[in-house]
Amino acid sequence: MCGVATVRFTESIQRHVQCPTREVAGDTLRDVLERYFADNARARGYVLDDQGALRKHMAIFIDGRQVRDRHALSDPVDQDAVVDLIQSLSGGTERGLETKI
């Protein structure tokens, strides 16, 4: 049975491409994303590369758990799941977090 997931994008992504929160049916992350992107090719290009894999600067969480399969996007999506798409953070070091006293 195909569940319905809520797909949400952070504001930082929405500054670059319009991608409103929507409810989308699908059993796997690939199913959900393909249905979401069916009428939003610009958002698809921002999130997925030419081979359909998750871009390096993106991270996706299903019910708070980071997806494992960044290439085939085969992670299961349960009914009523929440799928959050965010930009990955990079740069900085632990040293940059130190407080000098």
DSSP 49: -
Cα separation, 74 vs 67, in Å, equals 9
Q: What beta strand segments (E) does the chain contain?
A: 4-9, 22-25, 58-62, 65-66, 82-87
Q: Tell me the per-residue pLDDT of 17-28, one tens digit each, with 9 for 90 and over.
A: 999 999 999 999
CATH 3.10.20.30 for domain 4-90: yes
Q: What percent of the chain has pLDDT over 70?
A: 85
**Which sequence spans correspond to the domains of the chain?**
4-90
Q: Tell me the per-residue pLDDT of 54-84, one tens digit each, with 9 for 90 and over.
A: 999 999 999 999 999 999 999 999 999 999 9
pLDDT of 3 reads 75
Cα separation, 55 vs 48, in Å, equals 5
